[in-house]
Structure formats: C-alpha cells, structure tokens
C-alpha cells in the first residue's frame, strides 16, 4: 500500500472518498479489502497489547502482594524477637542496678575504712607522742 492508497483509505473511512474517480472498480475493491485486513490486524494487535497489559498488571499485583506478605512476615518476626528481648533487657537493667548499688556500698565501705585508718593513724601518732613525752 503506497502513500496515495493510504490517503485514499483515510478519505474512504471518513466518507470523503471518491469511488468512481478511481481508475477501476477492482482497484477500489482491493484497497477496501486491504484496508479491512489492515484493520483486522491492527485490531488483533490492540487486543494482544491489551492482554499483555492485563497480564503485566496481574503480575505486578501478584508481585506487590508477595512483597507485602514478605514485609509483614519480617515485621512479625521482628516483633517476636523484640518481645523476646524485652525480658532480657529488664533483667539486664535489674542486674545493672544491683551492681551499681553494690559498687556504691563498696565505695562507702572504702571511705569508712579510710576514715577509720586515718583515725587510727592519728590515735597511734598521739599515743606515740605521749609516750615520747
């Protein structure tokens, strides 16, 4: 089909074609048949494209659902792990608090012992001074 045939077909489709002006009626009939065949092929291509689009949309929806499902599973697994860690964290916090209390008591004991030692040194020094005098 050449350019003039295509232009003529466009006029034919729009109702502006001059059928008697064609050189012979069989050429016109051939062009009409070609146009119909061309439209059938175009229609099949459109249907194929629409089917491919629908298939792609279905695949995308399936993939989207699969990803959402995977994310939900991971979130649930993470929540379970976090719930398991909470008691461990609470126990660690209690151990840290108890260790801090023991450290504070030990520090207080060290200060008390240093004070007692200093007092003994002072008392011993005073005793020695009296003995020397």
Distance CA 116, CA 120 (A): 6
List per-residue pLDDT tens for the chain, 133 residues long. 566 666 766 666 666 555 555 555 567 778 778 888 888 988 999 999 999 999 999 999 999 999 999 999 999 999 999 999 999 999 999 999 999 999 999 999 999 999 998 988 888 777 766 776 6
- Residue 31's pLDDT is 76
Domain ranges of the chain: 3-97
- Residue 16's pLDDT is 58
Q: What is the DSSP string of 16-82?
A: ---GGGSS-HHHHHHHHHHHHHHHHHHHHHHHHHHHHHHHHHHHHHHHHHHHHHHHHHHHHHHHHHH
If you search the block for the tokens 């916090």, which residue do you land on? 93
- Residue 76's pLDDT is 97
3-state class (DSSP) for residue 31: helix
Greatest alpha-carbon pair distance for the chain in Å reads 155
- Residue 79's pLDDT is 96
Distance CA 90, CA 81 (A): 15
Residue 28 DSSP code: H
């Amino acid at each position: 089909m050449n350019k003039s045939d295509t232009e003529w077909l466009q006029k034919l489709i729009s109702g502006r074609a001059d059928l008697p002006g064609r050189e012979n009626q069989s050429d016109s009939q051939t062009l009409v048949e070609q146009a119909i065949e061309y439209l059938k092929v175009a229609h099949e291509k459109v249907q194929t494209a629409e089917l491919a689009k629908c298939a792609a949309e279905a695949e995308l929806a399936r993939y989207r659902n699969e990803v959402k499902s995977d994310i939900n599973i991971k979130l649930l697994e993470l929540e379970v792990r976090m719930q398991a860690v909470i008691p461990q964290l609470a126990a660690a916090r209690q151990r840290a608090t108890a260790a801090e209390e023991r450290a504070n008591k030990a520090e207080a004991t060290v200060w008390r012992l240093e004070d007692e030692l200093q007092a003994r040194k002072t008392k011993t020094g005073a005793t020695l001074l009296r003995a020397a005098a």
